[in-house]
């Protein structure tokens, strides 16, 4: 065949192959247009998973009558006018391809009304790139777009779609993602005439947390920390889950760049590095994070569906994210709360229970004392266990915090030790309840953090290799090695370029003597090629330091004195990431007085 120009219809259908992958792609493009129009509420009506109908209505600014037909043509947009605008995109949509691509593979009806107009105007797409003349419509202010019979003109594409349930599940997840990035907007999602979501605008922090709880579960809010960091023109905010609150899948990870949900390998790498020292093996962190930066510093035009971005200063963004999350997770107070479900009894003697008012007053005057719970003469407990309980009661009385004028002096964050249970767990009283500490796990984390600081701030012993290791790399990697001298040298490595495509390793840290050094250096170079940085040497060092910390920590079944227990608690309060051991398991859990009351049915 001779070279020839493609028809406009075929061009749009080819573009649709990139932009319109499935029904959820259509919903994404149309809802993002609603955001750009300043909508405060968006109604999404779906039928048969989106293949039969996608109808989206908003109360935004609307479209001028004379622009309606143009809106359905290719490369027509109100959001950019020149190359400079494309280099600093601040809107969700900008290329002007979506509506034309969608109308080439479906039947589209567009109705819109601007503020102050006497009526709305309606246009419909026809086959062969034709759009009807605008006709009046009683539609209120805003825009409605209907997409019917998706892929009717490309039957083969329909064969690749999944079941109706699966296609709609993608749409539902999309709306949840968008709702978490635009709290100021209300959403209604209907599928086959059944309302699935009805979200009102969330402007206050409480309303935002309620929306998040509805999407991710109430436990997400309870088991996460709020983060907000500003540095170098970058602003990171949101919620990060505690390491002990993790998932087996990456299904609760939401990252937004200037309100745009993205999947970015640089971001994923930074998050993984921040959690690597505290997350249990095989688990994935949960988070909802928002990164705000100058639009000129991020390229949002790097992916046809705008799902990926490219940062102009990738190394800066990576280090900022890692540092912010690393510090946020290092807070010693991060620890899980123990949720207790009291056993439901068929009958309870209410006369034996103090009222809620009496319980509260008693708590304000005196601490709970085990002497207030006398041991019954007819106890069915074995004698040795009852004696042990009495022993714990005596230890408690000796360790209780002095009171002045009937009130407590201020308790430390992790309180004071009461007993060492089964020579494994430390029981301590805090100002708000009690905590249980895994002594070995906690001491292991304290020891590990000390070793890391000593390793990071001291001179790393380096030893020359008896036989230098030489290996081949690509020309690009050899050039990177020349630039990495200032990175390798402080870590105890002597790595040089020895040819156009060769590298030689002459010295390495003594700590890593049993490591496959060639593979390690290769992986570090590969990381720099992809991410512009690498944490592999630190990871290998940390693995060895963690093993040393494990063997150098107090072992289970070793009875600790009260002084040793309290000393460990004070060290934990000062130690970063003390809420998790080196393997990501929790080192302590808390039980509040309210939970204790509930467990024992006090005040009920």
Q: How many CA atoms lie within 13 A of 124 on its CB side?
A: 7
Task: Let me know how long the chain is.
Answer: 604
pTM of this prediction exceeds 0.85: no
Highest mean pLDDT among 1-10, 18-27, 58-67, 594-603: 58-67
> In the chain, what is the straight-line distance between the N-terminal and C-terminal CA atoms, in Å?
86
Tell me the C-alpha distance between 412 and 490, whole Å: 39
Highest mean pLDDT among 61-70, 278-287, 536-545: 61-70
Q: Measured in whole angstroms, how far is the alpha carbon of residue 414 from the centre of its chain? A: 27
Taking each helix axis from N to C terminus, what angle separates 517-531 and 536-551, rounded to the nearest 10 degrees? Answer: 130
Q: Which of 20, 34, 44, 157 is nearest to 102 (CA)?
A: 20
Q: Which domains does the chain have, with CATH numbers?
A: 8-194 (3.30.565.10), 205-329 (3.30.230.10), 350-442+553-599 (3.30.1540.20)
CA–CA–CA angle 556, 559, 564 (5° rounding):
105
pLDDT tens-digit readout, 119-132:
999 999 876 568 89
Tell me the C-alpha distance between 72 and 69, whole Å: 6
Question: Cβ(320)–Cβ(576) under 8 Å?
Answer: no
Question: Helix, strand, coil % (nearest 5) of the chain?
Answer: 40, 25, 40
Q: Which of 219-223, 291-295, 302-306, 366-370 has the lowest mean pLDDT?
A: 366-370
CA–CA–CA angle 349, 355, 360 (5° rounding):
140
Residues 6 or more apart whose CB falls under 8 angstroms from that of 28 comprise 174, 178, 305
Torsion of CA 354, 355, 356, 358, to 10 degrees: -70
pLDDT tens-digit readout, 503-541:
999 998 776 776 788 888 888 888 787 767 676 666 666
Q: Which of 92-101, 506-515, 543-552 has the lowest mean pLDDT?
A: 543-552
DSSP state of 488: H
pLDDT tens-digit readout, 139-163:
999 999 999 999 887 887 788 889 9
Q: Which of 85, 138, 142, 136 is nearest to 113 (CA)?
A: 142
pLDDT of residue 359 exceeding 70, the answer is no
Parallel/antiparallel/unpaired status of strands 224-231 and 194-199: unpaired
Mean pLDDT value of segment 158-186: 93
Q: Which of 96-110, 263-277, 332-346, 362-376 has the lowest mean pLDDT?
A: 362-376
pLDDT of residue 395 exceeding 50, the answer is no
pLDDT at position 331 is 66
Tell me the C-alpha distance between 214 and 210, whole Å: 6
pLDDT tens-digit readout, 476-497:
888 888 888 877 877 778 999 9
Mean confidence (pLDDT) of the chain: 80
Task: DSSP for 416-459, please give it.
Answer: EEEEEETTTEEEEE-SSEEEEEEHHHHHHHHHHHHHHHHHHHSP
pLDDT at position 328 is 84
Tell me the C-alpha distance between 72 and 131, whole Å: 8
pLDDT tens-digit readout, 195-218:
999 999 999 999 999 999 988 888
The CA-atom distances, in angstroms, between 539 and each of 273, 449, 493, 512, 544 are 9, 14, 15, 11, 9
Helix (H) or strand (E) holding 465: strand 462-472
Question: Cβ(552)–Cβ(447) under 8 Å?
Answer: yes
């Amino acid at each position: 065949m001779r070279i020839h120009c493609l028809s406009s219809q075929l061009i749009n259908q080819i573009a649709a192959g990139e932009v319109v992958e499935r029904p959820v792609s259509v919903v994404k493009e149309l809802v993002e247009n609603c955001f750009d129009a300043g909508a405060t509420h968006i109604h999404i009506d779906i039928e048969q998973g989106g293949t039969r109908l996608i109808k989206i209505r908003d109360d935004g600014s609307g479209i001028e009558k004379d622009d309606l037909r143009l809106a359905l043509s290719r490369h027509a947009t109100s959001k950019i006018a020149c190359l400079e605008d494309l280099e600093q995109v601040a809107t969700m949509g900008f290329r002007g391809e979506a509506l034309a691509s969608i109308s080439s593979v479906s039947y589209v009806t567009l109705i819109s009304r601007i503020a102050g107009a006497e009526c709305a105007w309606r246009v419909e797409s026809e086959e062969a790139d034709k759009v009807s003349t605008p006709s009046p419509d009683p539609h209120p202010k805003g825009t409605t777009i209907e997409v019917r019979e998706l892929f009717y003109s490309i039957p083969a594409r329909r064969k690749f779609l999944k079941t109706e349930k699966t296609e709609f599940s993608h749409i539902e997840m999309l709306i949840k993602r968008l709702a978490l990035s635009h709290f100021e907007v209300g959403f209604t999602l209907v599928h086959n005439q059944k309302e699935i979501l009805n979200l009102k605008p969330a402007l206050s922090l409480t309303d935002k947390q309620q929306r998040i709880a509805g999407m991710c579960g109430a436990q997400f809010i309870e088991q996460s920390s709020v983060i907000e960091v500003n540095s170098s023109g970058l602003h990171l905010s949101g919620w990060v889950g505690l390491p002990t609150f993790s998932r087996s899948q990456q299904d609760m990870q939401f990252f937004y760049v200037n309100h745009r949900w993205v999947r970015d390998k640089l971001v994923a790498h930074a998050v993984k590095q921040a959690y690597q020292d505290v997350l249990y093996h095989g688990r994935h962190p949960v988070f909802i994070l928002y990164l705000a930066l100058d639009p000129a510093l991020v390229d949002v035009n790097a992916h046809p569906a705008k799902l990926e971005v490219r940062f102009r200063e990738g190394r800066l963004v990576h280090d900022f994210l890692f540092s912010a999350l690393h510090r946020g997770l290092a807070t010693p107070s991060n620890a899980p709360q123990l949720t207790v479900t009291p056993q439901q009894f068929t009958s309870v003697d209410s006369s034996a229970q103090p009222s809620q008012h009496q319980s509260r007053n008693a708590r304000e005057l005196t601490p709970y004392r085990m002497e207030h719970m006398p041991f019954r003469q007819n106890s069915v407990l074995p004698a040795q266990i009852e004696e042990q309980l009495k022993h714990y009661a005596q230890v408690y009385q000796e360790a209780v915090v002095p009171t002045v004028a009937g009130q407590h002096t201020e308790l430390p964050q992790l309180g004071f030790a009461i007993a060492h249970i089964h020579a494994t767990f430390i029981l301590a009283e805090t100002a708000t309840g009690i905590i249980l500490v895994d002594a070995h796990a906690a001491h292991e984390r304290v020891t590990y953090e000390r070793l890391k600081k000593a390793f990071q701030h001291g001179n790393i012993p380096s030893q020359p290799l008896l036989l230098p290791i030489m290996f081949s790399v690509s020309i690009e990697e050899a050039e990177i090695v020349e630039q990495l001298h200032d990175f390798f040298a402080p870590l105890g490595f002597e790595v040089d370029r020895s040819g156009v495509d060769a590298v030689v390793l002459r010295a390495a840290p003594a700590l890593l003597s049993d490591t496959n050094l060639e593979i390690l250096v290769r992986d570090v170079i590969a990381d720099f090629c992809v991410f512009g940085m690498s944490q592999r040497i630190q990871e290998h060092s940390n693995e060895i330091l963690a093993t040393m910390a494990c063997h150098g920590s107090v072992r289970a079944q070793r009875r600790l004195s009260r002084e040793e227990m309290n000393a460990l608690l004070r060290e934990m309060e000062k130690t970063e990431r003390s809420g998790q051991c080196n393997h990501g398991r929790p080192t302590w859990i808390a039980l509040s007085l309210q939970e204790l009351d509930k467990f024992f049915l006090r005040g009920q």
